[in-house]
Structure 1
Amino acid sequence: MDINQPEKLTEIAEIACSVAWGASDILSSYYNSQTKDLDIKNKKDGPVTKADLAANKHILENLRAKFSDLDFGYLSEETFDVKKAEPIAKDWVWIIDPLDGTRDFIDKTGEYGFHIALAYQGRPVIGIVGIPEAGKLYYAVKGQGTFVQTKEDQKITPIEVSERKVPEDLYLIVSRSHRDERFQKLIDTLPFKGKKYMGGVGGKISTILEQESDVYISLSGKSAAKDWDFAAPELILTEAGGKFTYETGKPVFYNQGDVRKWGCIVATNGNCHELLCEKITEILAEIDK
Structure 2
Amino acid sequence: LKKKKKKNQQQKTDLSEQIKAATKDNHVRAENTQLMLSYQKGEITLVQYKVLLCSLYEIYRALEDEMDRNASHPAVAPIYFPQELSRVESLESDLEHFFGSEWRKRVIVPAATQRYGQRLRQIGRENPELLVAHAYTRYLGDLSGGQVLGKITQKSLGLSSKEGLSFFYFPSVSSPNRFKQLYRSRMNSIELTEKEKAAVLEEAVQAFELNIQVRDLRMNFSVQALTKNDTKNCSTHKDRSPAAVLPSSPIVQFTVGLCVALATIGVGMYAL
The TM tier, using the shorter chain, reads under 0.3
Structure scoring higher RCO (CA < 8 A, sep ≥ 6) equals: 2
| TM-score, reference length from structure 1 | 0.23
Q: Which has the higher helix share?
A: 2
Q: Which has the higher strand share?
A: 1
